[in-house]
Amino acid sequence: SKINLSAFIDEVCDEMSAVKKPNQRIVYTHTGEAIDFKTDGQLLKNILINLISNAIKYSGNDKNIWVTSSNEENDITISVKDEGIGIPETDQQYLFSRFFRAENAINIQGTGLGLYIVKKYLDLVDGQIEFESIPDQGTTFKITIPKQTYYHHEKDSSDRR
Ligand code: ATP
Ligand code: MG
């Protein structure tokens, strides 16, 4: 179905504000331009919840979380940036593996499934994810989703590739 991207992200950020740490702020900035975009809203919401809850969990009580979105020619992009613990460089290559947890996160509760699922969801809509992270400074995840997308269910995605 069709969603208005900025209204959609606004709503998710509001929901996540209810579960953030005390003095964290979730700040969403966008151009204001209406981007009506046809996608699976449930899937996109799940992706955003995973990324924002990681940003909350792996950042201190008083850190900000910056969310942006943009409208490109063929894709939409959404980024989630935090000022948290970051990901050690040697761990970065394993981030989307099932059950993987970085060495600096062992004292923080988690199962290592969130990003694995995010990656699977993005595969279903031919989306992509990239990240940049500096230990003790923060992490930015950016997703890109084509505006024209053939939504393929997992069972036929293997036939196509
Ligand atoms: P859950 O299954 O509850 O999401 P999780 O948060 O441990 O558990 P993922 O979301 O898959 O699992 O993240 C995998 C690992 O990547 C985390 O354990 C953590 O080490 C690291 N990580 C993910 N997001 C961030 C972030 N924003 N900042 C720092 N480290 C992160
Ligand atoms: Mg997680």
The pTM of this model reads 0.93
For position 33, what pLDDT does the model report? 85
How many Å apart are CA 132 and CA 81, to the nearest integer? 9
CA of 146 to the centre of ligand 1 (A): 25
Instruction: Give the pLDDT of residue 140.
Output: 99
Report the run of H or E that residue 6 belongs to, with start and end: helix 5-17
**How far is the centre of ligand 1, averaged over its atoms, from the C-alpha of 140 (Å)?**
12
Task: Find the ligand nearest to 113 CA.
Answer: 1
Q: Which residues of 101-115 are buried (b: 16+ CB within 10 A; e: fewer)?
A: ebeebeeeebeeebb
pLDDT in tens, 59-99: 999 999 999 999 999 999 999 999 999 999 999 999 999 99
List, for the chain, all residue ranges whose pLDDT scores fall below the cut of 70: 149-161
Query: ipTM score of the complex?
Result: 0.99
Whose tokens are 């040697």? That residue is 90
The interaxial angle of helices 41-57 and 114-124, nearest 10 deg, is 150
Q: Is the CB of 138 under 6 A from ligand 1?
A: no
Please report the pLDDT score of residue 95 as a whole number.
97
Query: Can you state the angle between helices 5-17 and 41-57, rounded to 10 degrees?
Result: 40
